[in-house]
């Protein structure tokens, strides 16, 4: 009995650890977003059709791209500021007020960019109405207080709110989206529910946590924008490289092809989360080992790397073999073109795993400049090569371009790491 209690007590302490709780709740948020996205796919395809589903996803891709402007690196810097001032309510109130003001201003700028592009330059013609109705998603991102709860280490509330919002969205699809003409309301509903839930969270922050909302201090906002500019450009380049395929395809293909590709891309983007989650999971221990015992760090990272590559190969092989079944389940129809896209892209999760060692080494050794260079070199390669291949081969060409990008970024990081610090390079690869 006492041995059982001794086992339970450390486990209880482990679960009560704030950092562990933060990680678990972030995992819950990410998992719920992925799950709702997967569940909503067959519902939307049945309700609005494959072509409109492709246009809705294309509009969403444009919004997510501009959300990087709204976030502007605050997802990395804001939690640290909140944590450092968590005991000073006055300072914390000014930080919160300035960050929300900055993100709201950036959301307005992003909205203006879309409106000028749509009505001033005649862009986005095929899905202009859907995109305009999607603008509310920018303000949903601007009002999301996830960074605040991360810094305060109170993630339970925001994770519950996120799940509730997504469940309401799923219910809204079932109740209100029944025809292709209603496709413009899909992203609008997602943004509307997001803003509503975020306003409730802001009310909670003000009422129960004692945070006041002050007028924005434009000098402080300007300083934070300048400090975050490098993070913004790195995030922008990475997003284009990983998620820009659908936008490139829209210049060369029709709505039906976009829908076929979008379905396959969503599945692959879910699977591609695996290497990112691995890096997030091993980073704290890897950083500690790197500082205290470089030899043990290399041994630890090599062990993780080999296991991840094996599991990544298993995921890729499973996705290839199960592609017809996956598309059948998600679309409830046999979309052969979508199956072909998914089978070609099934290599992406494994290829993304190749770079886990390089990225982890750069992070623990604080080589942010190398990551910045690698992200932009990858972005330029992806846009040029994918656009060329897509113009010649359509969706198949885009899939080949995306696969080659994963290989090229691995080689880029390999060369940059070798040229910058050969000791780190040989320590891991020898």
| pLDDT tens column, 403-419 | 999 999 999 999 999 99
User: 323-333: buried (b, 16+ CB within 10 Å) or exposed (e) per residue?
Assistant: beebbbebbee
Question: Cβ(147)–Cβ(80) under 8 Å?
Answer: no
SS3 content of the chain, % helix, strand, coil (to 5): 90, 0, 10
Per the CB < 8 A criterion, the answer to whether 173 and 186 are in contact is yes
Question: Per residue in 138-191, pLDDT tens?
Answer: 999 999 998 888 778 787 888 888 889 989 999 999 999 999 999 999 999 999
Query: What average pLDDT score do residues 210-221 get?
Result: 90
- Please tell me the pTM assigned to this model: 0.71
At 14-65, the pLDDT tens digits run 445 555 565 566 667 766 777 777 788 788 888 898 889 888 988 988 898 8
Return the CA Rg of the chain: 22
- How distant is the alpha carbon of residue 133 from its chain centre? 22
Q: DSSP secondary structure string, 277-338?
A: HHHHHHHHHHHHHHHH-HHHHHHHHHHHHHHHHHHHHHHHHHHHHHHHHHHHHHHSS--HHH
Report the mean per-residue pLDDT for the chain. 85
Q: Is 56 exposed, middle or buried (0-12, 13-18, 19+ CB in 10 A)?
A: buried
Domain chopping of the chain, boundaries: 10-227, 264-429
407 to 47, 208, 413: CA distances (angstroms): 38, 49, 10
- What's the average model confidence in pLDDT over 267-289? 75
Above 90 in pLDDT, residue 360?
A: no
At 224-242, the pLDDT tens digits run: 898 888 778 877 887 777 7
């Amino acid at each position: 009995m006492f041995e059982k209690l001794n086992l339970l007590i450390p486990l209880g302490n482990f679960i009560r650890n704030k950092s562990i709780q933060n990680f678990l709740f972030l995992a819950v948020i990410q998992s719920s977003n992925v799950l709702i996205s997967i569940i909503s796919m067959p519902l939307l395809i049945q309700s609005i059709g494959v072509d409109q589903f492709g246009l809705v996803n294309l509009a969403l891709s444009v919004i997510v791209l501009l959300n990087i402007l709204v976030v502007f690196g605050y997802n990395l810097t804001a939690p640290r500021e909140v944590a450092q001032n968590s005991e000073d309510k006055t300072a914390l109130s000014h930080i919160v007020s300035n960050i929300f003001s900055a993100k709201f201003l950036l959301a307005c700028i992003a909205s203006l960019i879309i409106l000028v592009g749509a009505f001033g330059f005649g862009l986005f013609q095929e899905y202009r109405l859907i995109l305009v109705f999607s603008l509310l998603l920018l303000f949903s991102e601007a009002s999301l207080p996830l960074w605040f709860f991360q810094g305060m280490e109170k993630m339970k509330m925001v994770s519950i709110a996120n799940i509730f919002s997504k469940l309401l969205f799923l219910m809204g699809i079932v109740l209100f989206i029944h025809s292709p003409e209603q496709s413009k309301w899909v992203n609008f509903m997602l943004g509307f529910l997001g803003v509503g839930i975020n306003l409730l969270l802001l009310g909670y922050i003000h009422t129960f946590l004692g945070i006041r909302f002050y007028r924005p201090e434009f000098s402080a906002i300007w300083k934070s924008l300048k400090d975050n500019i490098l993070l913004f450009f790195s995030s922008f380049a990475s997003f284009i490289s990983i998620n820009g395929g659908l936008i490139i395809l829209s210049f060369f293909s029709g709505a039906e092809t976009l829908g076929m590709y979008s379905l396959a891309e969503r599945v692959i983007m879910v699977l591609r989360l695996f290497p990112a989650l691995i890096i997030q999971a091993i980073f704290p221990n890897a950083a500690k080992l790197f500082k205290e015992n470089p030899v043990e760090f290399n041994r630890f990272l090599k062990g993780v790397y080999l296991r991840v590559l094996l599991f990544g190969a298993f995921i890729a092989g499973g996705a290839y073999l199960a592609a017809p079944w996956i598309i059948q389940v998600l679309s409830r129809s046999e979309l052969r073109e979508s199956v072909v896209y998914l089978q070609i892209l099934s290599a992406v999760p494994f290829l993304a795993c190749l770079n886990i060692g390089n990225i982890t080494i750069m992070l623990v050794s604080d080589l942010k400049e190398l990551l910045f260079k690698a992200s932009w070199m990858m972005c330029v390669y992806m846009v040029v090569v994918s656009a060329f291949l897509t113009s010649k081969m359509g969706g198949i060409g885009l899939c080949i371009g995306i696969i080659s990008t994963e290989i090229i970024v691995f080689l880029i990081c390999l060369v940059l790491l070798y040229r910058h610090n050969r000791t780190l390079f040989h320590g891991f690869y020898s």
